[in-house]
């Protein structure tokens, strides 16, 4: 018996960032977060389970993966096997349609697609909330790539359940994300290792204590389509996270001089009256958020920076979805 499923998921960009875990084993984040799924960027993953397969294998963009990256995927598959009560192993193939090594996190779309394809291949049909809760064990931000559009990751204080849900669909607001790629190098310190240091920064406590206020402001800005309010809270939140990173022990500097140069440019474009804002994840690339009608102009301006290697443009995107599912053959 051989079971196969394919799924697609989009990456997401957070306006309110997740940085630090309150409970590492249960993957409970120190604070809630809000993001927007972005397409057409996507990961497509096929999981084939077969009794003839003795250990999980992973092929990413046509290349076999080994070592720690494979071990992380195998552990995630173990979790799905426990849920499904199965001992079948899998052949996993995954393709990103965005440039490999563009310094863009593919772990969110990757683990969201794997959660969906992996559970479907083992015969499970989980509701969105459970799928999102599962995806976080692959990568925290992956839980936000399960629901569609504008998404909030929250922890229920009573039940302790932690999962993401959609606060508005993708077509709610015509935003765009113009991503200035400054480095194609792999991050020296990935987000998992980086956020273990968060608590060592004297600023993390203040960042976390103020998170509910920022979450409320961001949620409201999205629901009201209030760009100025979204810009204010997005920049504040990105700067707070990077301040924590830079003041952790040992410190983490993800910005490059050109990152700051672009942030300054965005501020001058705001002074011209343009609806633009910026946010940076655990890397030097700058996500310039704007409205769809300004996307072409923002991309053109970003391409003029000598340090900018490429600019990707993306729009709000829908939920993770199953592409195919083949039952026992």
Interface contacts to ligand PMV, rule CB under 6 A: 14, 17-19, 33, 105, 107-108, 139-141, 191-192, 281-282
DSSP string, 277-329: EEE--SSS-EEEEEEGGGHHHHHHHHHTSTT--EEEEEEE----EEEEEE---
108 Cβ contact partners less than 8 Å away, ≥ 6 residues apart = 9, 11, 12, 139, 141, 142, 144, 145
Provide the minimum distance between the beta carbon of 17 and ligand PMV in the complex, in angstroms, as a whole number. Answer: 4
75 Cβ contact partners less than 8 Å away, ≥ 6 residues apart = none
Provide the minimum distance between the beta carbon of 107 and ligand PMV in the complex, in angstroms, as a whole number. Answer: 5
Provide the minimum distance between the beta carbon of 70 and ligand PMV in the complex, in angstroms, as a whole number. Answer: 18
Cβ atoms within 10 Å, residue 121: 29
Using the minimum distance from each CB to ligand PMV, give the nearer residue, 122 or 263: 263
Using the minimum distance from each CB to ligand PMV, give the nearer residue, 19 or 76: 19
Provide the minimum distance between the beta carbon of 33 and ligand PMV in the complex, in angstroms, as a whole number. Answer: 5
- Report the residue number whose CB is nearest to ligand PMV: 141
Provide the minimum distance between the beta carbon of 13 and ligand PMV in the complex, in angstroms, as a whole number. Answer: 7
Provide the minimum distance between the beta carbon of 191 and ligand PMV in the complex, in angstroms, as a whole number. Answer: 4
Distance CA 265, CA 224 (A): 26
Using the minimum distance from each CB to ligand PMV, give the nearer residue, 140 or 147: 140
Using the minimum distance from each CB to ligand PMV, give the nearer residue, 5 or 280: 280
Distance CA 205, CA 239 (A): 15
Using the minimum distance from each CB to ligand PMV, give the nearer residue, 5 or 178: 178
Provide the minimum distance between the beta carbon of 49 and ligand PMV in the complex, in angstroms, as a whole number. Answer: 26
Is the peptide bond between 250 and the residue preceding it cis, with omega within 30 degrees of 0? yes
CB-count exposure of residue 239 (10 Å: 0-12, 13-18, 19+): middle
Using the minimum distance from each CB to ligand PMV, give the nearer residue, 5 or 14: 14
Cβ atoms within 10 Å, residue 257: 9
Distance CA 318, CA 296 (A): 22
Distance CA 175, CA 219 (A): 15
Q: Smallest Cα–Cα separation from 231: which of 275, 273, 264?
A: 275
Provide the minimum distance between the beta carbon of 223 and ligand PMV in the complex, in angstroms, as a whole number. Answer: 20
Using the minimum distance from each CB to ligand PMV, give the nearer residue, 193 or 228: 193
Using the minimum distance from each CB to ligand PMV, give the nearer residue, 58 or 88: 58
Q: What is the CA radius of gyration of the chain?
A: 19
């Amino acid at each position: 018996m051989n079971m196969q499923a394919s799924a697609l998921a989009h990456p997401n960009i957070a306006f309110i960032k997740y940085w630090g875990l309150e409970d590492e084993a249960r993957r409970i984040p120190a604070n809630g977060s809000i993001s927007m799924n972005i397409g057409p960027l996507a990961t497509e993953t096929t999981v084939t389970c077969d009794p003839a397969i003795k250990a999980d294998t992973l092929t990413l963009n046509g290349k076999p993966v080994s070592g720690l990256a494979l071990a992380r995927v195998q552990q995630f598959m173990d979790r799905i096997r426990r849920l499904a009560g199965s001992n079948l192993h899998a052949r996993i193939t995954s393709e990103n349609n965005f440039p490999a090594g563009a310094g863009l996190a593919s772990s969110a779309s990757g683990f969201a697609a794997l959660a969906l394809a992996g559970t479907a291949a083992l015969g499970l049909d989980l509701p969105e909330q459970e799928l999102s809760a599962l995806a976080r064990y692959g990568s925290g931000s992956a839980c936000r790539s399960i629901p569609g559009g504008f998404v909030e990751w929250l922890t229920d204080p009573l039940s302790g359940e932690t999962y993401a849900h959609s606060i508005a669909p993708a077509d709610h607001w015509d935003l765009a994300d113009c991503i200035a790629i400054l480095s194609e190098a792999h991050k020296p310190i990935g987000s998992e290792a980086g956020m273990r240091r968060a608590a060592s920064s004297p600023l993390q406590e203040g960042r976390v204590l103020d998170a509910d206020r920022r979450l409320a402001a961001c949620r409201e800005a999205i629901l009201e389509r209030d760009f100025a309010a979204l810009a204010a809270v997005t920049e504040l939140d990105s700067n707070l996270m990077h301040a924590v990173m830079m003041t952790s022990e040992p410190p983490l500097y993800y910005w490059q001089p050109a990152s700051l140069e672009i942030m300054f440019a965005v501020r001058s474009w705001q002074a011209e009256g343009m609806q633009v804002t910026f946010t940076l994840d655990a890397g030097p690339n700058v996500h310039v958020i704007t409205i769809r009608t300004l996307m072409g102009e923002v991309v053109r301006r970003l391409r003029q920076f000598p340090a900018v290697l490429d600019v990707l443009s993306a729009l709000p995107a829908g939920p993770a979805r199953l592409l195919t599912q083949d039952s026992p053959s």
